[in-house]
Amino acid sequence: MITTESVPASSADSILASQRLNRPVSPHLTIYQPQLTWYLSMTTRITGVGLSGIFYLYTIGYVFLSPFGVDMSIANISRKWGEMGTAVKMAVKAPIAAMFGFHFWNGVRHLVWDTGRELTVRGVYRTGYGVLGLTAASTLGLLVL
């Protein structure tokens, strides 16, 4: 025979909390070995957010700061850019060039996949490493401009 007992609501929460402490924890991402595909997927999203954020910040600044006398025109920004030192220019250009290069080449990679090519595990990794190599080369190329 099974018996039950009436428990007040205040102690029911503490009983439930103690039972939850004994419950096994479900496996999480830590049980999986990180893969190149994870990192490339996350980086694509991050670079997309970063590039669009830069675009939106400039656009919002151009619209809302102009009435306050802040000149956000391309001519003014180009003039100020020319006055900056090389180290500052490289510090600003490097992350933007890397984000642009990576996002561009990974977009090309996805277009290749859309044609039905390189959809094997080996092909996915080959194109992933290709994206990394082309990103490095294009970042260096953009830095010397």
Annotated binding site for heme: 103
* Cα distances (Å, whole numbers) of residue 34 to 29, 31, 90: 9, 9, 32
**Among residues 113, 111, 112, 104, which one has the least CA distance to residue 132?**
104
Q: How far apart, in whole angstroms, are the C-alpha atoms of residue 21 and residue 62? A: 54
What would you report as the CA-atom Rg of the chain, rounded to the nearest whole angstrom? Answer: 26
List binding-site positions: 103
